[in-house]
Structure 1
Amino acid sequence: MLPGTDGLTLCREIRRFSDIPIVMVTAKIEEIDRLLGLEIGADDYICKPYSPREVVARVKTILRRCKPQRELQQLDAESPLMIDESRFQASWCGKALDLTPAEFRLLKTLSLEPGKVFSREQLLNHLYDDYRVVTDRTIDSHIKNLRRKLESLDAEQSFIRAVYGVGYRWEADACRII
């Protein structure tokens, strides 16, 4: 039991701005509760009673899966795009970007995998994991705004390219997560 909120709501809120590992430890043992927790964004779901050694093993497993991605993100120390997850801030060549939460998540998603084409549906899933009813054209609007903000800092650089009938891909260098 959490004071003031439930674990599902907390998990959903964390997932809106971060991809840190989440392990839910709960007394709810029904299959529907476990499935809901995992679908909302938990990386693992542990039911009481549990062995402390099992919790440690599960946390180590999750961290082992996360570690290579973090190491890859840190490789490009010279990248012009810097993303500070803890402050929810981004900058291009040292110039701060004033982004909405949706634009920040889009920028992070696209720039972590330069060249990879993301469909509108994939991008919607990264932005809205709370089952809102939005159209895939919502992504187009966010992309347009994000492009405008990026191009105001560097008009010579191509940042986001539309792939006709598929989605979008990041054209610039990979970002550096700090």
Structure 2
Amino acid sequence: DRLLGLEIGADDYICKPYSPREVVARVKTILRRCKPQRELQQQDAESPLMIDESRFQASWCGKALDLTPAEFRLLKTLSLEPGKVFSREQLLNHLYDDYRVVTDRTIDSHIKNLRRKLESLDAEQSFIRAVYGVGYRWEADACRLV
């Protein structure tokens, strides 16, 4: 049955008994693969923010950013959709797809560190804006994915 299901197009198969956490993890994995490629603003060759996913590197106006993996994912998530407000919970879901025990204040810490690193390269630019009671949004230009 499992082989037949996979051969006719199923993306995954879960055997009983199953853990609800396993189901959630498998669904998130499939959704990650199915995310549409955002090609609206991110391909702007004039964008000062460049994100190279294959090398896990980012730069602002040609200056490299030294980011942790969490900061890199946070920067990518926010900058792909400038102006969109992300709640702390949404950002946590983008950062941690495993079942770590983290609070929504973890995002505040990552944002603080990311702001500090970005502002060290361009003190005049406003990058990340807090939206009171909601979350955060990217204020600068969209990124350019490489």
- TM-score, length of structure 1 as denominator length: 0.63
Q: Tell me, in whole angstroms, the C-alpha distance in 2 between the residues paired with 1:77 and 1:36.
A: 46
Instruction: Note the residue ranges of structure 2 that are not aligned, 5 or more in a row.
Output: none
Q: 1:65–1:106: structure 2 CA closer, same or farther, 3 Å change rule?
A: closer
- TM-score, length of structure 2 as denominator length: 0.76
Q: Which portions of structure 1, spanning 4 or more consecutive aligned residues, are displaced by more than 3 angstroms?
A: 33-68
After superposition, the C-alpha distances for 1:8-52 in whole angstroms (9 at most, x for unaligned) are xxxxxxxxxxxxxxxxxxxxxxxxx99999999997679999999
1:16-55 alignment, distance < 5 Å: none
Q: Tell me, in whole angstroms, the C-alpha distance in 2 between the residues paired with 1:153 and 1:102.
A: 19
Q: Tell me, in whole angstroms, the C-alpha distance in 2 between the residues paired with 1:103 and 1:164.
A: 21
Superposed displacement of residue 65, structure 1: 9.7
Equivalent pairs: percent with the same residue?
98
Q: 1:126–1:157: structure 2 CA closer, same or farther, 3 Å change rule?
A: same
Superposed displacement of residue 131, structure 1: 1.3
Q: Is the 8 A contact 2:52 2:58 kept in 1?
A: yes
Q: Tell me, in whole angstroms, the C-alpha distance in 2 between the residues paired with 1:39 and 1:106.
A: 37
Q: Which is helix-richer, 1 or 2?
A: 1
Give the number of the structure with larger relative contact order, counting CA–CA contacts within 8 Å between residues 6 or more apart. 2
**Corresponding residue number in structure 2 for 1:158:** 126
RMSD value, Cα:
8.1
Q: How many residues align?
A: 146
Q: Are positions 1:131 and 2:96 aligned together?
A: no
